[in-house]
Amino acid sequence: MLMQFGHCPRCGTEIISDRIIGSTIVCECGWTKSAKSESVSRSNTDRTCAAIVMIGGLLIASFLQAVNWDKHFFSIVPLKAKQMTGLADSHDLERIAMICQERKKHECVEKAYIGIARMEPNNGANFARLAELQYKRERYTQAAESFARYFAQNGSDSDMAYTYAQTLTKLKQFPEADKYFRMALGKKNDVLPVTYVRGYVQMLVDANRLQHAKSTILAYRKKSTTANLFMNKELDDIRVRLGEIKAASL
């Protein structure tokens, strides 16, 4: 026969199904026990264990969060709760971005900026910082979209134009990249913008516009008496590719 309870705690006899009457267990020695109360007791024990495990888990999670957020723990928890439930306003998101920036949580910062962008679609400064962050994180497609939103709102910063051009170069969108490189360079007529020119020449080489790359280097050399060797190695490499000189002669 199938065992239903196990062994009698008094005499040790195996208790079989025939010894269970209704919800009562009756051993041959006269010991009795309510099966229902046993089930309830086990159920209560299981619930208690589950509650202990849950509380322990919450305590561990809280500890990890406290370590994760350091002194900002009590500030960030309600803010993140508002963000997750869609109740955070732009001020809340600014605070989240600031805290996440301090803790170097770039994904968190980006999400906060994106949230602000949705609430304030005309906030050009927010699109600028979002675009720069996405570029640094090598999220070039998203960065290009954010840069486009910035310039669509009459953005004109030369560094932003240069970084947008670099982003477009990464995406191999060379005609658009050319446009923004020229914008950046046009704002630096009073100096030799070495970084900008190097980036522009590299884009032209990537686009296989070698003659234009060569003429760009020569044009900027003429703008300064001390720039006669400016980008000399790059110029030689271009001339080799154009077949004007041989690599062995360098």
In this prediction, residue 248 carries a pLDDT of 61
Q: Is the pLDDT of residue 66 over 50?
A: no
Task: Assess if residue 28 is contained within a domain.
Answer: yes
pLDDT(164) > 80:
yes
Q: What is the pLDDT of residue 76?
A: 87
Instruction: Report pLDDT for 58.
Output: 42
219 in any annotated domain? no
pLDDT average, residue stretch 34-40: 57
Which amino acid is present at 11?
Answer: C
Fill in the amino acid letter for 46: D
Question: What are residue 33's phi and psi, to 5 degrees?
Answer: -160, 140
What does pLDDT average to over the chain? 84
Domain-located, residue 53: yes
Q: Is the pLDDT of residue 45 over 70?
A: no
Name the pairing type of β-strands 14-16 and 24-26: unpaired
Quote the tokens at residue 149: 């939103």
Is residue 19 in a domain? Answer: yes
Number of structural domains (the chain) is: 1
DSSP track, 131-183: HHHHHHTT-HHHHHHHHHHHHHTT---HHHHHHHHHHHHHTT-HHHHHHHHHH
Give the other-Cβ count within 10 Å of 47's Cβ. 10
Mean pLDDT of the 13-24 span = 70
* Residue 7: strand, helix, or coil: strand
Distance in angstroms (rounded) separating the CA atoms of residues 18 and 3: 9
pLDDT value of position 208 = 97
Higher-confidence residue of 236 and 31: namely 236
- pLDDT value at 61 more than 60: no
In a domain, 26, yes or no: yes
Which pLDDT score, from 0 to 100, does residue 1 have?
38
Q: What is the mean pLDDT of residues 173-187?
A: 97
Q: Residues near 89 by Cβ (< 8 Å), separated by ≥ 6?
A: 119
Confidence of residue 98 (pLDDT cuts 50, 70, 90): very high
Distance CA 229, CA 235 (A): 9
Question: 64 falls in which pLDDT band (50, 70, 90)?
Answer: very low
Q: What is this structure's pTM? A: 0.72
Q: Output the pLDDT for position 3.
A: 44
Lowest mean pLDDT among 2-11, 40-49, 78-87: 40-49
Q: Average the pLDDT over 97-120 and give the result.
A: 96
Answer whether 157's CB lies under 8 Å from 128's CB. yes
Asked if the structure places residue 79 within a domain, the reply is no
pLDDT digits (tens, 9 = 90+) for 190-199: 788 999 999 9
- pLDDT of 62: 42
Range of the domain at 21: 1-64
pLDDT in the model for residue 202: 98
Q: Does the residue 227 lie in any domain? A: no
- pLDDT for the residue numbered 192: 84
Q: What is the pLDDT of residue 165?
A: 98
Q: Answer with the residue of higher pLDDT: 228 or 181.
A: 181
Share of the chain above pLDDT 90, in %: 60
| Helices 124-136/158-170 angle, 10° precision | 40
Nearest alpha-carbon partner for 187 in 164, 160, 169: 160
Does residue 16 form part of some domain?
yes
